[in-house]
Chain A
Amino acid sequence: MADSSQKTLRIREFPIDENPGHTYLNHEKGILSWLFTVDHKRIGLLYLGSVILFFFVGGMLALLLRTELLTPAQSIVDADTYNQIFTLHGAIMIFLFIIPSIPAALGNFFLPMMIGAKDVAFPRLNLASWWIYIFGALFALYSIITGAVDTGWTFYTPYSTQTGTSVVSMTLAVFILGFSSILTGLNFIVTLHKLRSPGLSWSKMPLFLWSLYATAVIQILATPILAITVLLLAMERILGIGIFDPSLGGDPVLFQHFFWFYSHPAVYIMIVPAFGIISELISTYSRKTIFGYWAIALSSLAIAFIGFLVWGHHMFVSGQSELSSVVFSFLTFFVGVPTGIKIFNWVATMYKGSIDLKTPMLYALAFLFLFTIGGLTGIMIGALSINVHLHDTYYIVAHFHYVMMGGTVIAMLGGLHHWWPKMTGKMYNEFWGRITCGVIFLSFNMTFLPQFIMGSQGMPRRYFNYVDQFQGLHQFSTIGSYLLGVGFVMMAVYLLWSLFKGPKAPSNPWKARSLEWMTSSPPTHHNFEYTPVILHGPYDHHKPMKEFRMGVAEESESPDVIEIDKDPA
């Protein structure tokens, strides 16, 4: 029905070059071509390298903490050093690792590819984001060297305005890192709105992109609050203006409101992208259409929205009014509903699927196990009367590690393995991949399950010394953490081996349907040598593969050209 408001697109199938001589990896050479690249794929890898480095540093700090906790009294470091180590572990893992991890590394690489674009909307801004991130990281490093920070990653006042450590430079680092996060979010939103290929309607967008979209909205709306907060903190410390410090006429609880107004939505900056990856993995390895596409897509946005209204659940015993606590508790439970819907949808997707337990799928299943525990224990601590007992105990520590590590990190590892062939052009060893996933899964539970018990029994968090009754559980947890370390070393070994010695990856080893698999592995500099045209959804496993490799046909007549009508929009 071609009337005047429609135009005709001529499309044909573009076969994939399985052995590309020219890829984004050899497009340009030399260290400067990497550090000043505007290619989203290279920037994605720069981020990936950076976050892995900081994950390694934060992980080593965690092992130091666990080693110190082998005995109830001092074992290897003194109290002040311990306090600095747990602060750095938290700050590095949150600000330098987990916030940029999935969106800035995997998101940067795959967001443009999944919509068939050559790059993000603002490639130079993208590069600037990475440099701002590195600059912020250097500032953080500077404050560690010039006297460390011992406030905990939460910087609670008035302790943070009174302690003798380099709080100002550390908060400045957080301030700078925030800009990197905002700019990445901005870039993603514009890219998703403006650069989608012909035919890629919102309803055909991979769910990973919906989750990045929801994340980007939170990054843009919430991160400025963090900037304001740390700026006020710096003003108080440098200029002596009383905002939070009661001895200057301020209110310390105000800081907590400011801080959590950012940091609670930030929790969803960390976990929502993980949801996106899980949707991709479960559909791909079950080779089945996703169940409840819109329910999953919209629940990400619902979580992003409700996430702004629940910050006070960190403050039930802080001295905020009882009424606020009640309201925040009520709203908090409603984050649980869309989260539960996602889990049920993923399980339903596997129904009557063709499930292949490849390494990424094992990570997806590990995610379902660990994140469900994280979510259910979240219901526990959302309940007011129980929260009073469990607040600031190891129960909280265990809960957020189940969500952040059992959720985000496990999903990221799943995504890393899923997209590894596409990013590097190499296959990894499937056997070692599965074994390592098992080691990480078991040792993770060994590390953090005992912490739920300790916390219920009353063991407070951030304790250098502890009462003797907790020693057995602490030691069990420490042994688990060592095994977890071994798991990550195993992964590093086989992934590095794959990088240098691994067999060449085909363009689409998993028979996935989304667009990033419809080009060579590794992709060429411009991702696609043609303008992709999308006929089917990213999870339409029942449609023939050739219909996913469509692109705008050149003028020349070719026998396989199809003509379709397309709305001018």
Chain B
Amino acid sequence: MNRIIEYMLPPQRSTTASDVDSLFTFINVSGFILFMGIMITILIFVIKYRRKSEDDVTPVITHNSILEVAWTVIPIILILIVFSWGFRGYLTLTSPPANAYEIHVSAASWLWQFQYESGGSTMNEVYVPVDRPVKFIMSSEDVIHSLAIPDFRIKMDVLPNRYTTTWFQATETGESILFCTEYCGTGHSEMLATVHVLSAEDFEEWLETGLEVDEDMPLADVGEQTFTSAGCNACHSLDGTDRVGPSLLNLFGSDRELVDGSVVVADEDYIRRSLIDPQAEVTAGYPANMPSYSGRLNERQIDGLIAFIKELQD
């Protein structure tokens, strides 16, 4: 039984996970016993009381007070246990410790952005310290999203008009996956992020250096990295296939026909404008739903993307 339950659940990587899993196990085991009890009873009845002849006479049994009280009261006791257990766990899940490390999360269709207390931000990657409570303060720029990290057993909707919060304390270093679990359109299933749990020292070091730009990296490599980290790949392909937005292959230098009928050349300035104010010049045939990267990308990343796109010619 334990092995089945273990197979059914993702690894436990937060302090709250084990309580949730214990309740999960409790309901599964007691439910299984109840279920088997009912099914075996039915099986016995079907075999023992199968029709022997067309003239079978059956007794008239309309009720049995002891039995009926039992199968009302016992389930009530069981559900009260389950309710209280779930309630207690929920209180923990919704009460972040006061000393939690706070990260602001901003969701947009379809990317996650994480801003750290000490300044700096990351996209679709979040770095957190192990063995220390971390609190996400979340808001959405457009529709409702939901942040879920199965390894931590947490989930919370991200709303456009108010902040919601969730918290966890990771118990081991490593990587976990973060899903968007509220349906948000075309790129919903691409709206993933990676949670990197670092040791306390590594996290401090990452805060110092990880957010800095590697000055020695070639511009096009910066662009390639940004292409994934900023979530461009959710909507734009590199091989000419259409996704939500146009492919970036052979984009540079091509004539772009816009929705208003005008034609512009995709030069450096056009790419920059498309990143900062994407709704201004939308290519005909594609939806106007790209989020603005103004303030999300630094100058070096924008230059990097331009250099990267320039190279994408076949």
Which A residues are within 8 Å of any B CB, using their own CB?
78-80, 83, 150-152, 156, 158-159, 162-164, 246-247, 251-253, 286-293, 295, 316-319, 322, 325-326, 329-330, 333-334, 336-337, 340-341, 343-344, 347-348, 350-357, 365, 368-369, 372-373, 376-377, 379-380, 382-389, 391-393, 452-453, 456-458, 460-467, 511, 541-542
Residue B271 CB within 8 A of the other chain? no
**B50 at interface, CB cutoff 8 A:** yes
- State A463–B144 Cα separation when bound (angstroms): 16
Task: Tell me how far the C-beta of A428 lies from the nearest C-beta in chain B, rounded to whole angstroms.
Answer: 20
* B79 adjacent to A159 (CB under 8 Å): no
Would you give 11 A-B contacts (Cβ < 8 Å), ordered by A? A252-B159, A287-B51, A337-B75, A340-B75, A347-B41, A348-B67, A389-B150, A389-B154, A391-B155, A458-B177, A467-B192
Q: Which of B55-63, B274-282, B297-305 contacts A (4 or more CB under 8 A)?
A: B55-63
Instruction: Tell me the bound Cα distance from A83 to B243 in angstroms.
Output: 14
Given contacts A369-B39, A457-B150, A463-B189, contact A326 B87 (CB under 8 A): yes
Which residues of A have CB within 8 Å of B71?
340-341, 344
B135 contacts partner chain A, Cβ-Cβ < 8 Å? no
Q: Which interface residue of A164, A376, A453 has the most chain B CB atoms within 10 A?
A: A376
B27 in the interface (beta carbon within 8 A): yes
Docked pose: A80 CA to B183 CA in angstroms: 12
Q: Is the CB of A384 within 8 A of B90?
A: yes
Given contacts A356-B51, A384-B86, 14 further A-B contacts (CB under 8 A): A79-B186, A287-B51, A317-B146, A322-B94, A337-B76, A343-B38, A350-B46, A351-B49, A354-B50, A383-B89, A457-B9, A460-B189, A462-B183, A463-B189
B10 at the interface (CB under 8 A from A): yes
A379 and B19 contacting across the interface, CB-CB below 8 Å = no
**Chain B stretch 64-98: residues in CB contact (< 8 A) with chain A:** 64, 67-68, 71-72, 75-76, 79-80, 82-83, 85-94
Within 8 Å CB of B20, what residues of A? 385-386, 388-389
Taking CB atoms, residues of chain A closer than 8 Å to B157 are 317-319
Number of residues of chain B lying within 8 A (CB) of chain A: 88
Residue in contact with A458 in the complex, picked from B60, B148, B160, CB distance below 8 Å: B148
Asked whether A251 lies within 8 Å of B27 as measured between CB atoms, the reply is no
A29 to nearest B CB, angstroms?
39
Q: Contact between A372 and B79 (Cβ–Cβ < 8 Å)?
A: no
A376 touches B31 (CB 8 A): yes
Chain B residue with minimal CB distance to A87? B183
Tell me, in angstroms, the Cα distance from A80 to B235 when the chains sit together: 12
Knowing A291-B63, A326-B87, say if A347 contacts B93 (CB, 8 Å). no
Q: A388 CA to B167 CA in the complex, in Å?
A: 12
| List of B residues within 8 angstroms of A319 by Cβ | 156-157, 159, 162, 164
B58 touches A79 (CB 8 A): no
Contacts of B287 in A (CB 8 A): 164
B-side contacts of A251, CB under 8 Å? 161
Most chain B CB atoms below 10 A, which of A83, A382, A389: A389
Chain A residues near B31 (CB, 8 Å)? Answer: 376-377, 379-380
Whole-angstrom distance from the CB of B277 to the nearest CB of chain A?
Answer: 18
Whether the Cβ atoms of A393 and B181 lie closer than 8 Å is yes
A292 and B68: CB pair below 8 A? yes
Q: Mark B5-26, 1 if CB is under 8 A from A, else 0.
A: 0011110000010011001100
Q: In the complex, which residues of chain B have a beta carbon less than 8 angstroms from the beta carbon of A253?
A: 159
Give chain A residues whose Cβ lies under 8 Å from the Cβ of B23: 383, 385-386
Inter-subunit contact B161/A246 (CB<8 Å): yes
Asked if A458 and B45 make an inter-chain contact with CB atoms under 8 angstroms apart, the answer reads no
Check B180 against A337 for contact (C-beta < 8 Å): no
Question: Once the chains are docked, how many angstroms separate the CA of A372 from the CA of B35?
Answer: 7
